[in-house]
Amino acid sequence: MRFEVAQDGQGRAKGITRPVHRQPLMTRPQERKVTEMKSAIANSRSNAIKGFALVVILLGIFAAVPLLSGAHAPAATSITVVNNSSRQIRHLYLSPANQDNWGPDQLGGSMIGSGGGSYTLSDVSCSQSSIKVIAEDQNGCFLYQTVSCGQSSTWTITDNATPDCGN
């Protein structure tokens, strides 16, 4: 135990006044542990901030890629086929405009009657700016029309249209 010494105005000792209780100084290993704990906390916070920043940057890049590449979401369109010809349209197919890769029959067993019958395809998904519509008549002959995507289109088939009968 230590005692505090009282001094006069000239710096001379007057006497012992009271005991002084002091905390023992930290030893080196304790100081190191506290410093290591503070450093670990600071590093974990720093790593969390860096991780968050990396996630934000990656999300921004992924969001910008479609805009920069010119890619766009498929457009939905509706296509109405009006049959003003004397042919019966038995099958109706869709294909990308620059390919002959036809999808399934869109009429599903129905037919578009001659002399003014019509059929509307709704919510047709287009991955390009246009789509090819293929109509097959009762003789197995085909008629083709390319329509723009993203807007409603009407294709009117008349007797003036020259069918492709494979000849």
DSSP state of 127: S
Digit-coded pLDDT (tens) for 41-53 = 666 777 778 877 7
DSSP state of 129: S
Assess whether pLDDT exceeds 80 at residue 61.
no
> Residue 117 burial by CB count (10 A; 0-12/13-18/19+): exposed, middle or buried?
middle
d(Cα 131, Cα 125) in Å, to the nearest integer? 9
Instruction: Note whether 87 and 137 are within 8 A (CB).
Output: yes
DSSP state of 70: T
Instruction: Note whether 156 and 84 are within 8 A (CB).
Output: yes
Determine if the pTM surpasses 0.85. Answer: no
Digit-coded pLDDT (tens) for 72-130 = 555 678 999 999 999 999 999 999 988 888 999 999 999 999 999 999 999 888 888 88
Assess whether pLDDT exceeds 80 at residue 4.
no
Say how many Å lie between the first and final Cα of the chain, rounded: 118
pLDDT, averaged across the chain: 80
